[in-house]
Structure formats: C-alpha cells, structure tokens
Amino acid sequence: MEQTFVMIKPDGVQRGLTGEIISRIERKGLRIVAMRMCQVTDETARRHYAEHVEKPFFNSLIEFITSSPAVPMIVEGAGAVSVMRTIAGATDPKESLVGTIRGDFGLDVGRNLIHSADSLESAKREIAIHFTEDEAVLYERAEERWVYE
C-alpha cells in the first residue's frame, strides 16, 4: 500500500468542509492512518513549501497556510498519490471537474481547499515534515476485501 500526504487547508477548515473532505477520502476506499488539526507554524510551512521559495507567491502562501488551523493527514491505499490527486481536482478550481473537491467547492486558485502530494517522493518528504514515524496507525479496514481484488 502506498502512502501520501494530504492537508485540508485553512479555507477548507473555516468553511466547515473538513468532514465532507474526509468522507470523500474514506468513501473512495482509502485509509487515513494519521490525522490531526493543528496551527501550521511558519517553520513547518517554509519547509513544506521550500520548492516555491523563489516564486513571487511564496510569502502569501506561507501567510495563508499559517493563518488558521489545518488538518494534515497520511492517507494510504493502492495508488494513493494519484487517487488523491484525482479526488482533489486540478490546482485551479476553475479547471477542476465537477465531482472533485476543488471542482465542487472551490473558485480561486489561492483558496483551493486541499493539498495533496504530487508524487511518491513529495509524499514521503511532506509526511516526514508533518508527522513522526510513530504517529501513523497501520490497520486494515474490514471492508477492504470489497475494495481490492
């Protein structure tokens, strides 16, 4: 099983969409093996978005992600990285398909509700930034025999 990093951003929390987003992840058949609500610190945000440090939107990105509580998660399942990217939708909500989180609830790229790692390498790096190794609770859901062949 593959693990990926997902975070419900401050706009998703403030708009009361946390439960809806978690529900979509679980209904797809993915497992949440670690999750918490937290205030992302400036240091954590800068490590998380380090690849954007030279981009003009970096400071506003840091300001936004630290502005209000967020919900980081480790999500697990077959092809979890690509499955979560599909569930989340295109980065720009205006380009996201109806049925995706961003397509159903977003309007602006700067308020796109959810972060989902874009590769397995990014997922591993981001998980290590937000969680310690002992925070993931590995388990198998009873209905998984009805999800996977």
CA distance 116 to 58: 18
- CB within 8 Å of 14: residues ≥ 6 apart: 68
Q: What pLDDT is attached to residue 44?
A: 98
Q: What pLDDT is attached to residue 77?
A: 97
Question: Per the confidence metrics, is the pTM higher than 0.75?
Answer: yes
DSSP 8-state assignment for residue 99 = T
Structure confidence by residue, pLDDT tens digits, 7-48: 999 999 999 999 999 999 999 999 999 999 999 999 999 999
List the chain domain ranges: 2-139
The third-level CATH classification (topology) of the domain covering 2-139 is Alpha-Beta Plaits (3.30.70)
State the catalytic residues.
115
